[in-house]
């Protein structure tokens, strides 16, 4: 896809940024060097008349990206999860980016469904509505299964969307290379890595089988969570470009009047949405990373319904424990503990002073804990925390940035339901329970059992490993024999075949 069209697309992009007034906003957010500013202006200013006008009612950045089309809208959404790259102010603007585009005709959608699923539309669906929602990559239709009469939502990718994205992503790669060439200082922001991350996100969203799999995994993890439900995937009516799932009845989480009219308890909902997010992040390490009001409903029975699984977050067990210890330390106001966790995890370089870091953390936490409950903000604390750790040389960790961004969004949802919510009181039982289960004696035993299971997989190979280790050592000259041989002698002396096998395995792996 490389060719002159990439240069033309970048010129059109620069012209649109100039015409909408977004150029300075974007350059300032990226802290652009004089050379980079000159290149951007050269691509945009002379051709300003070629730029798209966009919607003047929108902020400059969102106006420009919306005018440039689906790939740019999606890029803006992804960048909204990376305040470490674009800065907090622009990230906030991009977070409210309107992911709404004119729908494509329903007849085209039906043709896409028939082609993907290999059956006439009437054989699958007794009803198939006009689009009920249209986004940058796909649109959704309300339908009814012909076989069972069940109501479903059918998500269909836009025609030729893969080709359109491929062209624009190629232009993004070219822009990233040019930025690195003209402005070596910008490499600290890793523009090529940002584009590769975006490319990976888009590739996942352009294959709806992957989104279906994400929804299925999320459902399996959360099936026992009280007051929470997910629409079931209809695998027989899903494919690469089509995803069918159970229709979710309920009122929007963003409509307080409708929630009140339905008789739901907004205080209980605000606490539950926050605790559910923390449970999913800490307990499972797999969480919905786009939990804004538009992706949440309240069912008639009061359950919270989540949908749209295009962006999911994953953090490993070790990172979860670190994150929980950090939150728990702040809840207990034990700043030395929080500081030690950062050093032990390697988040802060070892040559920094742990006591100085603890004092900096105290300066972050104490003002927040002195606030009225209506102003206590976990999102604000996390934001300040990242600022402090950046000053102490902490490297950016993408998974924590996504976690932070989602925490900000979820806190916003909770406060929209109940402005007087005390975030820390609501979070404390979830974090404390996770700490008790993951860091206590029972957790240590579980870790040992997990290690034993891994070693057990080598069971059939242990005799051969022992024999190979003994032969290798018997062939070594005394001067070349490693001290570890003594462990083999000791193990033989006590008659422990398992110890011999274990040491042989360790020697083989080390």
Q: What are phi and psi of 226, to 5 degrees?
A: -70, 140
Instruction: Give the Cα-Cα-Cα angle 495, 457, 468 (nearest 5 degrees).
Output: 55
Q: In what order do the strands lie in the sheet with 228-229?
A: 228-229, 304-306, 296-298, 251-252
Give me 229's structure tokens. 């439900």
Provide the 3-class DSSP secondary structure of residue 129: strand
Of the listed 290, 303, 351, 372, which one is catalytic? 290
> Tokens 């422990």 identify what position?
496
DSSP class of residue 283 equals: I
Please answer whether residues 411 and 334 qualify as being in contact, where contact means their C-beta atoms are separated by less than 8 angstroms: no
Contacts with 245 (C-beta within 8 Å, 6 or more apart), sequence order: 152, 153, 155, 212, 215, 231, 232, 233, 234, 238, 307
Contacts with 296 (C-beta within 8 Å, 6 or more apart), sequence order: 252, 253, 273, 304, 305, 306, 413
CA torsion through residues 287, 195, 319, 432, sign: negative
What are the Cα distances from residue 259, in Å, to 100, 256, 411, 414?
24, 5, 18, 13
Contacts with 13 (C-beta within 8 Å, 6 or more apart), sequence order: 43, 44, 68, 72, 171, 175
Query: What gap in Å lies between CA 154 and CA 125, rounded to an integer?
Result: 10
Query: What gap in Å lies between CA 53 and CA 286, rounded to an integer?
Result: 40
Please answer whether residues 137 and 74 qualify as being in contact, where contact means their C-beta atoms are separated by less than 8 angstroms: yes
> Tokens 């062939």 identify what position?
475
Q: Which of these, 424, 426, 385, 388, lies nearest to 404 by C-alpha position? A: 385
Give me 15's structure tokens. 């012209």
- Tell me the longest C-alpha to C-alpha distance in the chain: 86
Provide the 3-class DSSP secondary structure of residue 233: strand
433 carries an active-site annotation:
no
Instruction: Give the Cα-Cα-Cα angle 172, 203, 98 (nearest 5 degrees).
Output: 70
> Tokens 């959704």 identify what position?
140
Query: What gap in Å lies between CA 330 and CA 432, rounded to an integer?
Result: 12
State the catalytic residues: 290
């Amino acid at each position: 896809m490389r060719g002159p069209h990439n240069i033309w697309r970048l010129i059109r992009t620069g012209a649109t940024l100039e015409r909408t007034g977004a150029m300075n906003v974007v350059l300032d957010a990226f802290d652009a060097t004089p050379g980079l500013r000159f290149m951007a202006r050269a691509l945009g200013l002379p051709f300003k008349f070629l730029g798209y006008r966009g919607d003047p009612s929108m902020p400059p950045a969102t106006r420009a990206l919306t005018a440039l089309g689906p790939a740019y809208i999606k890029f803006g959404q992804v960048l909204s999860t990376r305040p470490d790259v674009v800065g907090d102010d622009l990230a906030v603007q991009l977070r409210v980016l309107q992911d709404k585009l004119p729908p494509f005709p329903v007849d085209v959608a039906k043709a896409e469904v028939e082609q993907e699923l290999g059956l006439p539309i009437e054989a699958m669906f007794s009803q198939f509505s006009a689009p009920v929602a249209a986004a940058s990559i796909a649109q959704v239709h309300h339908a009814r299964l012909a076989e069972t009469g069940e109501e479903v939502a059918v998500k269909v990718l836009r025609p030729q969307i893969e080709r359109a994205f491929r062209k624009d992503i190629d232009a993004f790669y070219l822009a990233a290379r040019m930025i690195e060439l003209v402005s070596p200082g910008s490499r600290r922001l890793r523009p090529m890595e940002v584009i590769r991350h975006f490319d990976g996100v888009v590739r996942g969203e352009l294959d709806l089988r992957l989104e279906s799999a994400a929804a299925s995994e999320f459902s399996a993890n959360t099936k026992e969570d009280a007051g929470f439900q997910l629409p079931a995937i209809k695998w027989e009516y899903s494919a690469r470009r089509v995803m069918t799932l159970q229709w979710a009845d309920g009122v929007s989480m963003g409509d307080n009047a409708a929630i009140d009219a339905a008789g739901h308890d907004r205080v209980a909902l605000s606490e539950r949405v926050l605790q559910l997010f923390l449970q999913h992040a800490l307990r499972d390490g797999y969480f919905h990373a786009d939990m804004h009001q538009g992706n949440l409903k309240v069912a008639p029975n009061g359950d919270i319904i989540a949908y749209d699984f295009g962006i999911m977050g994953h953090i490993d067990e070790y990172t979860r424990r670190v994150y929980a210890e950090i939150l728990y330390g702040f809840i207990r106001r034990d700043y030395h503990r929080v500081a030690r966790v950062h050093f032990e995890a390697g988040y802060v370089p070892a040559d920094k002073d742990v006591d100085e870091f603890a004092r900096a953390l105290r300066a972050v936490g104490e003002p927040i804990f002195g606030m009225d409950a209506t102003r206590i903000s976990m999102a604000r604390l996390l934001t300040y925390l990242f600022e402090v750790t950046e000053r102490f040389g902490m490297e950016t960790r993408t998974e924590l940035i996504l976690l932070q961004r989602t925490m900000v969004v979820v806190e916003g949802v909770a406060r929209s339901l109940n402005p007087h919510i005390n975030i820390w009181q609501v979070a404390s039982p979830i974090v404390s329970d996770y700490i008790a289960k993951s860091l206590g004696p029972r957790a240590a035993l579980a870790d040992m059992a997990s290690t034993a299971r891994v070693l057990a997989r080598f069971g059939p190979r242990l005799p051969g490993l022992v024999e190979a280790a003994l032969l290798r050592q018997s062939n070594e000259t005394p001067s070349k024999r490693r001290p570890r041989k003594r462990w083999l002698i000791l193990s033989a002396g006590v008659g422990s075949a398992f110890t011999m096998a274990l040491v042989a395995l360790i020697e083989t792996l080390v």
